[in-house]
Amino acid sequence: MAVCIAVIAKENYPLYIRSIPTENELKFHYTVHTSLDVVDEKISAMGKALVDQRELYLGLLYPTEDYKVYGYMTNSKVKFVMVVDSSNTALRDNEIRSMFRKLHNSYTDVMCNPFYNPGDCIHSRAFDNMVTSMMMQVC
């Protein structure tokens, strides 16, 4: 159902990005890259006081003609961005939320790997499989 899932580091460079129509990967790179503007804006709008107990889920970042872009940010400022086909109306906010939570858990597992250097690109097979499952789930 998700067409593209990206993990973006604190310094706004991609740790992981994968999209289903692989032939037009760059387009998704652009989509996700520009969505960071909205993420930044949302974060700065929230203000500092709320940072601690804030909601990690950022909601819909912006819709495009064909896709909807959702965002999520962990407390360590690692961002997850998910691009969803906008024709898929069955997908509710709650489902997106749970998908992000799953992604977060899986990311935590990656971070727990003692051989993983924070800041490196993610090359974990388990994470890969999880992303694949999330992309496949419905469609």
Partner 1 sequence: MSVPDYMQCAEDHQTLLVVVQPVGIVPEENFFRIYKRISSVSQINVRDSQRVLYIRYRHHYPPENNEWGDFQTHRKVVGLITITDCSSAKDWPQTFEKFHVQKEIYGSTLYDSRLFVFGLQGEVAEQPRTDVAFYPSYDECETVEKRIEDFIESLFIVLESKRLDRATDKSGDKIPLLCVPFEKKDFVGLDTESRHYKKRCQGRMRKHVGDLCLQAGMLQDSLVHYHMSVELLRSVNDFLWLGAALEGLCSASVIYHYPGGTGGKSGARRAQGNSLPAEAVNRHRPGAQEVLIDPGALTSNGINADTSAEIGRAKNCLSPEDIIDKYKEAISYYSKYKNAGVIELEACVKAVRVLAIQKRSMEASEFLQNAVYINLRQLSEEEKIQRYSILSELYERIGFYRKSAFFKRVAAMQCVAPSISEPGWRACYKLLLETLPGYSLSLDPKDFSKGTHKGWAAVQMRLLHELVYASRRMGNPALSVRHLSFLLQTMLDFLSDQEKKDVTQSLENYTSKCPGTMEFITLPEGLKLPPVPFTKLPIISLLFNPLPTILDYLLELKKKSDLIGNKFYQVSLGDSNSLSFVCGRFFNIYFQWVQGDVCEVQLMVYNPMPFELRVENMGLLSTGVEFESLPAALSLPAESGLYPVTLVGVPQTTGQITINGYHTSVFGVFSDCILDNLPGIKTNGCTVEVIPALPRLQISTSLPRSAHTLQPSSGDEISTSVSVQLYNGETQQLVIKLENIGTEPLEKLEVTAKTVNSKEKLYGEFLSWKLEDTLSQFPLKPGKIATFTVNIKVKLDFSCQENLLQDLSDDGISVSGLPLSSPFRQIVKPRVESKPINPTESSKVGDFSHVKTLEAILNFKYSGGPGHADGYYRNLSLGLHVEVEPSVFFTHVSTLPATSTRQCHLLLDVFNSTEHELTVSAKKNEDLVLHAGECQR
How far apart are alpha carbons 116 and 72 in whole angstroms?
22
How far apart are alpha carbons 126 and 102 in whole angstroms?
12
Q: Considering only 57-65, 76-84, 94-102, 104-112, which stretch makes contact with partner 1 by CB under 8 A?
A: 57-65
- The alpha carbon of 18 is separated from its chain's Cα centroid by a whole number of angstroms, namely 10
The SS3 of residue 47 is coil
Q: Considering only 37-45, 83-91, 99-107, 125-133, which stretch makes contact with partner 1 by CB under 8 A?
A: 37-45
- The alpha carbon of 99 is separated from its chain's Cα centroid by a whole number of angstroms, namely 9
How far apart are alpha carbons 65 and 25 in whole angstroms?
17
Closest approach, Cβ 137 to partner 1, in A, equals 26
By CB under 8 A, the residues from 81 to 120 that bind partner 1 are 119
Closest approach, Cβ 42 to partner 1, in A, equals 7
Give contact residues for partner 1 (rule: CB under 8 A). Answer: 9, 11-14, 17, 25-26, 29-30, 33-34, 36-38, 40-42, 45, 62-63, 65, 119
